[in-house]
């Protein structure tokens, strides 16, 4: 379980590159960028299948798995882009980023799972740290004019939390299925692009490399790693630790010279890492007990 949890957290680390690489990709409209990067993400799965063909298996995939997967990957991005078009980015992003807390709370309803106080408190600490990162130390100004955008952001959070939790109910479904979720998301994103956007392609090698990086990691390998984590890892720990994504993203931007370090970022670091450590307390204690028993 510990190894699968770490694999799942590697997805969070890859998502930390999302802001930097998206910014470096130029003026490509969101749905077109989604179509291109998810196509690359599909390629990641196909290459993995070539090297480990046994993971594809011959077992029939339940129809609900297809619904869950496509609704999770495409649905999240569709409603997120819609939220950003209809509400201020700060408020919409913070609402959308309620999904780690929903995962932690929703895990109590999953078979074989038990929600403890440290999971809830750890997730809330992570949420507080995320608040500092997203609002940049300022306040929130929820405006009734943007109610539709706020609602779309809320749908984002519910969709991704539901996808993560429901995927855990199908542990026998191979992670290779994510390849086809990515392919479906790429196709649906292309349809949305043709209906809603003007075509603007990346310019120059630098922007194309950024798009390639997006497709290989945050919009590629990350989804395969996340599938392993939510199916076989500690779902509560993974949910609370997911709040590290905006912090890691900010640290990446600081390292690249796009942001400045501050006391606010330090405070967010303390809250998020402390919350993740608190949520993982039971996992650490379990490992220690197993080690002592083995000795």
Summarize the confidence of residues 268-288 as an average pLDDT: 73
Share of residues in the chain with pLDDT > 90 (%): 49
The per-residue pLDDT for 246 is 86
For residue 91, the model assigns a pLDDT of 81
Alpha helices in the chain (DSSP H): 2-15, 18-24, 30-51, 63-70, 76-86, 89-96, 99-106, 117-135, 147-167, 178-196, 204-216, 222-232, 235-241, 244-255, 263-279, 281-294
Q: How confident is the model at residue 59 (pLDDT cuts 50, 70, 90)?
A: low
Look at residue 56 in the predicted model and tell me its pLDDT: 45
Q: Which of the four pLDDT bands, split at 50, 70 and 90, describes residue 161?
A: very high
Q: Extract the tokens encoding 125.
A: 């600490």
Predicted local distance difference test score (pLDDT) of residue 250: 85
Q: What is the mean pLDDT of the chain?
A: 87
Output DSSP code: residue 258: S
- CA dist 184 and 42 (Å) reads 9
Give the lowest-confidence range in 73-77, 122-126, 137-141, 179-183.
Answer: 137-141
Contact 145, 46 (CB under 8 A): no
Which is more confidently placed, 182 or 137? 182
pLDDT of residue 278: 84
Q: What does pTM read for this prediction?
A: 0.87
Which whole number is the average pLDDT over 204-211?
96
Task: Tell me the mean pLDDT in the region 247-259.
Answer: 86
pLDDT score recorded for residue 284: 53
Written in H, E and C, the secondary structure of 177-245 is HHHHHHHHHHHHHHHHHHHHCCCCCCCHHHHHHHHHHHHHHHHHHHHHHHHHHHHHCCHHHHHHHCCHH
pLDDT at 289: 47
Residue 288 has pLDDT above 60, yes or no: no
Higher pLDDT, 10 or 247: 10
Average pLDDT over residues 194-207: 96
Task: Note the pLDDT of residue 39.
Answer: 98
pLDDT at 261 over 60: yes
Query: What pLDDT, on a 0 to 100 scale, did the predictor assign at position 53?
Result: 60
């Amino acid at each position: 379980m510990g190894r699968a949890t770490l694999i799942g957290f590697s997805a969070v680390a890859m998502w930390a590159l999302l802001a930097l690489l998206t910014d470096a990709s130029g003026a490509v409209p969101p749905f077109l960028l989604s179509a291109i990067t998810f196509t690359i993400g599909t390629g990641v799965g196909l290459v993995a299948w070539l090297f480990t063909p046994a993971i594809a298996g011959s077992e029939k995939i339940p129809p609900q798995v297809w619904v869950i997967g496509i609704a999770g990957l495409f649905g999240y991005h569709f409603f997120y882009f819609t939220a950003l078009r209809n509400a201020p980015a700060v408020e919409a992003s913070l609402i959308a980023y309620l999904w780690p807390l929903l995962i932690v709370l929703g895990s109590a309803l999953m078979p074989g799972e038990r929600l403890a106080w440290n999971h809830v408190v750890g997730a809330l600490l992570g949420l507080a740290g995320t608040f500092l990162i997203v609002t940049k130390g300022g306040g929130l100004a929820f405006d009734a004019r943007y109610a539709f955008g706020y609602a779309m952001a809320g749908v984002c959070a519910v969709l991704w939390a539901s996808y993560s939790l429901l995927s855990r109910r199908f542990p026998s479904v191979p992670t290779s299925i994510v390849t086809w979720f990515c392919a479906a998301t790429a196709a649906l994103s292309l349809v949305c692009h043709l209906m809603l956007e003007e075509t603007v392609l990346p310019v120059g090698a630098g922007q194309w490399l950024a798009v390639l990086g997006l497709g290989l990691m945050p919009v590629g390998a990350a989804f395969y790693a996340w599938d392993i984590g939510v199916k076989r890892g500690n779902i509560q720990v993974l949910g609370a630790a997911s709040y590290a994504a905006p912090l890691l993203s900010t640290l990446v931007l600081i390292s690249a010279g796009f942001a400045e370090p501050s006391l606010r970022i330090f405070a967010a670091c303390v809250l998020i890492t402390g919350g993740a450590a608190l949520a993982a307390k039971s996992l650490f204690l379990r490992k220690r007990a197993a080690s002592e028993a083995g000795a």
